[in-house]
Amino acid sequence: MGGNQMTSRRKKWGAAVAVAIAASAMATTTQAAGAKPAASKQGGEVSYGILNTISGWCFSNALTGDALGATRMVYESLVERDSRGNFIPHLAQSWASSEGGKVWTFTLRSGIKYSNGEDFNAASVKQNMDIGRGLTTAPGFNSKYASTGIGVNANIMSIEAPDATTVKITLERPDNDFLGLMYRAGRYVMRAPAQIADPNTCATNGIGTGPFKIVSYNPNELVVERNPLYWRKDAAGTQLPYLNKITVVVVKEASQRAAAVRKGVLDAASFTTGEATFVKDLRQRKSVVTEYAGNAGSWGQWVPNQNKAGSPFKYQNCRLAAAFAIDWPTYNKVRLKGMGVYSGSIVGKEHIMYTRAGAPTYNLAKAKEFVTKCNADLTAAGVTTGFKLTLYADTSTQSLNNTKEVQKYLEAAGITMNPIFQAESAVLIASIYRGGGNLYDFAEGTPAEGPGSGYVLPFFVTGAFPANSTNPIAKTPYGIGYNKVIALGNHSDTQVDTLLYAAQAETNATLRKQKFQAATAHIQATGMAIPTLHTATYTFVNKKSKLKGIGLFKNPDGKTFAPTRDIKGLEWTGVWQER
């Protein structure tokens, strides 16, 4: 869909929000006293504002943040996380590993159907996973389905479905944190065979096992309704979900999104740490809105692109110059109002890979020294333009202003900065995760998140497939084309591979942690990734909307609770509306 059309729709929505806010300026947002729940929790319609464009529903559509969360109203995965961050069964009923973490067997729940009536079973899981990993002989495979999943799944050698509820996955190398990969920040979802069957509509016709199904969709607005075939019931035996309909609208400007939820034009709205000014303001309005905050589990990592044509980051001195130049704690205070978390490492303190060893911290004098060394390296290589970089930002005002603040630090160290490049988040993502590698000087953050290494490790190895890989997909055009897509730094330091793969295969928990820390220390010391700020996501709900049950919904095991607010968004299955 053309960029002009998307911009036009967004402007229309922005105008509609502005008009609605003005019209509702005199309306009260205080919940009526003494309101009692209706006899039934079922029913109700909700509007929900998000930041990120919903670019599509197929294998090649890489989504981020709240846009991913919007699709999770429709899609589900085998593995989920509970409110404490532990991996728990979801579409899978259980799992077991064998052969030192080289074989993983998942037992699926029976009787589940996709919203179109097709059976969810082992054959469907195998189809989804085989297509995702680039197996061209998989039923329904199409060249349009080639995606970053080829790199993420590079360790998978084979997938078997011996019966309707059993999926056996054999890996090339042992991976004792494979569940982290199967969760993949909420991205490892299952699509119905009918959706996969048509490559022309796969990106617009999402069909999942989730609580809702699509009524209408475009990249800036999604309407979903209750899925009558959904497989879950609450403890009282009531069919889930409770809500009849949710309308999701993309509102790029945080100021408009905040005003809309404050005035009740939107029932709920999502925000990022980068929009801290508006999060802080909404927090002062406790009589009007209720906040549901996630943990800072989105790991802050800026990855210099070492193999982009003409990139100065080919040289370690240039990488370290950038690493020492940025004062992230001060940036946190100025731009994020202290809401970010700076651990001094590429992951948070609770992570198995956490260590501050080797990590540069802000030091302007050192940054200038490394800029001088960097320029010497570039001159010796015949580069006459010196150390020059381009940063990018989303089209929102907050994103641009945040990026400008980072640019100031780099300029102060003596780095020449080009004008900031701005584009839609979906365009930026597609340009970073592409065959042939990242187009930009940096990957200004990665999707790495959560407590395990499964969705951190793939971003730091030299390539998805090791040079000695026996995986047959490695030598295919897709395997070759996507080998560097996930390895965002495009580096050639195989010592990182050795360290990370040794940690991944280690069965002793204490030794595994030590080995992962050694890998992190090397990554940080060489400037392969720059520790930045770890961030969270936030949802604010207008009290007038009378939404209940948030944070009180239990997982299928009946014991643990779903996260109140995860990186992939609010859990809507158990939300109900008091009427």
The SS3 assignment for 300 reads coil
Q: Could you say which DSSP state residue 215 is in?
A: E
Tens digits of residue pLDDT in 534-577: 998 999 999 999 999 998 888 898 888 877 767 667 889 999 99
CA–CA gap between residue 267 and residue 542 (Å, rounded): 5
Handedness of CA 429, 435, 439, 445 (dihedral sign): positive
Q: DSSP string covering 11-59, please? A: HHHHHHHHHHHHHTTT---PPPTT----S-----EEEEEESS----SST
pLDDT at site 17: 59
Q: Tokens 């599509």 appear where?
A: 56
- Which tokens belong to 453? 């290494």
CA–CA gap between residue 569 and residue 579 (Å, rounded): 25
Q: Tokens 């997982």 appear where?
A: 555
Identify the burial level of 561 via C-beta atoms within 10 angstroms of its C-beta, where 0-12 means exposed, 13-18 middle and 19 or more buried: middle
pLDDT at site 186: 84
CA–CA gap between residue 544 and residue 505 (Å, rounded): 52
Torsion, CA 72, CA 58, CA 93, CA 97, rounded to 10: -120
Nearest CA-CA partner of 256 in 425, 47, 18, 541: 18
pLDDT at site 246: 98
CB neighbour burial string for 532-559, b if at least 16 within 10 angstroms, e if fewer: bbbbbbbbbbbbbbbbebbeebebbeee
Give the domains, in start order, of the chain with CATH numbers: 40-74+210-295+536-577 (3.40.190.10), 79-196 (3.40.190.10), 301-531 (3.10.105.10)
pLDDT at site 232: 97
Q: What is the pLDDT along the chain (579 residues), one digit of tens a residue?
A: 344 444 444 445 455 555 444 443 333 333 333 334 445 899 999 999 999 999 999 999 988 889 999 999 999 999 998 888 889 999 999 999 999 999 999 999 999 999 999 999 999 999 999 999 999 999 999 999 999 899 999 999 999 999 999 999 999 999 998 998 999 888 899 999 999 999 999 999 999 999 999 999 999 999 999 999 999 999 899 999 999 999 999 999 999 999 999 999 999 999 999 999 999 999 999 999 999 998 878 889 999 999 888 899 999 999 999 999 999 999 999 999 999 999 999 999 989 999 999 999 999 999 999 999 999 999 999 999 999 999 999 999 999 999 999 999 999 999 999 999 999 888 998 899 887 788 999 998 887 887 788 888 888 999 999 999 999 999 999 999 999 888 888 899 999 999 999 999 999 999 999 999 999 999 999 999 999 999 989 999 999 999 999 988 888 988 888 777 676 678 899 999 998
Left, alpha or beta for 309 (phi > 0: left; psi -120 to 50: alpha)?
beta
pLDDT at site 18: 52
Contact 347, 359 (CB under 8 A): no
CA–CA gap between residue 543 and residue 286 (Å, rounded): 9
